[in-house]
Amino acid sequence: MTDHMPELEDELENGDGSEEIYERVNLVVDKGQEPLRIDKFIQARIEGATRNKVQQSIEKGMVLVNDKPVKANYKVRPLDRLIVYSTKNPESTEIKPENIPLDIVYEDDDVMVVNKPAGMVVHPGCGNYSGTLVNALAWYLGDEIDKNTSGLLVVAKSDKAMSDLAKQFFDHTVERRYIALVWGDFEEDAGTVVAHVGRHQRFRKIMDAYPDGEHGKEAITHYEVLERHNYVTLIACKLETGRTHQIRVHMQHTGHPLFNDDTYGGDRIVKGTVFAKYKQFVDNCFEIMPRHALHAQTLGFIHPRTRKHIQFESPMPADFSGVLEKWRRYRRNPED
């Protein structure tokens, strides 16, 4: 009998965050496998898995066999396809509840949709141990994604809801629409960027695009031009996958980095002749929006309990709309 190595995948919680928070292990049972309890099978094949933890995951519906939850006494059969979900915990950090105001768009017993402001980190870690969304949720409920991306994200309030939403993210059925202001103009009104996204080979804290698929994971971004302003363009992006910094990396790859993206080359004049008046105009824009111009505008998913599709919209933040209006005026009157 030949053991199958687990296939580990990551997925985002809100699309273009900086760090995946769900982890999934795929296992395929060998053709010659004798009947064996699923908890024992998983424990033997996933490093660090204890029987108690595996049984808890099974009870929470976070272990699927052939896409369906099973009970702990289920015995695996040849060629069964197993999926084991878990949440990533990159650092063992005590979560301290903090009374931080939250913009809650929707809430019930299963899920909460939050409109996150730019600048708020999602979970504690690596220099951000307080003031995060998780600290605020701990206070509200009594119990570093991409801090500079504003907009909607969904929070599961139960283990069942979490496993259900995790599966929707993995199956790419969650609707996520972003708006972005990028440098330059596009030849086409719409297009698709296909390039793997993975860690930069030299600078491990940032991501890079690999169009030949030699590194990283498959990443697909669909974009549509909304407004053209000569030197910058407002676009809408729909994610078919949700990799770390996907939109930012894909736009840089196409030569259109996000406006004021200091990680991927957008915090300088990329398009336009660098003369004093124009430079001053761009610097003024950077001051109005001191972050990359990306906003999670639309979020839609199947409710874990009712199974009905629900969708939410987030208005453009003031800093984003302010910069966009300056570019509209500049396009009409560049000499002003």
**Active site residues per annotation:** 146
- Decide if 16 contacts 35 (C-beta within 8 A): no
Q: Give the angle 176-128-245 at the CA atoms, nearest 5°.
A: 30
d(CA 333, CA 229): 11
Reduce the DSSP state of residue 301 to 3 states and report it.
strand
What's the length of the chain?
336
Give Cβ neighbours of residue 143 (< 8 Å, ≥ 6 apart): none
Question: What does the longest C-alpha to C-alpha distance in the chain come to?
Answer: 78
Reduce the DSSP state of residue 93 to 3 states and report it.
coil
Cα dihedral across residues 15, 177, 179, 226: positive or negative: positive
Backbone angles phi, psi at 63, to 5 degrees: -125, 120
Buried b or exposed e, range 52-68, using 16+ CB within 10 angstroms: eebbebbebbbbbbeee
Backbone angles phi, psi at 134, to 5 degrees: -65, -40
d(CA 46, CA 150): 36
d(CA 131, CA 126): 13
d(CA 95, CA 137): 10
Give Cβ neighbours of residue 165 (< 8 Å, ≥ 6 apart): 111, 154, 156, 174, 301, 304
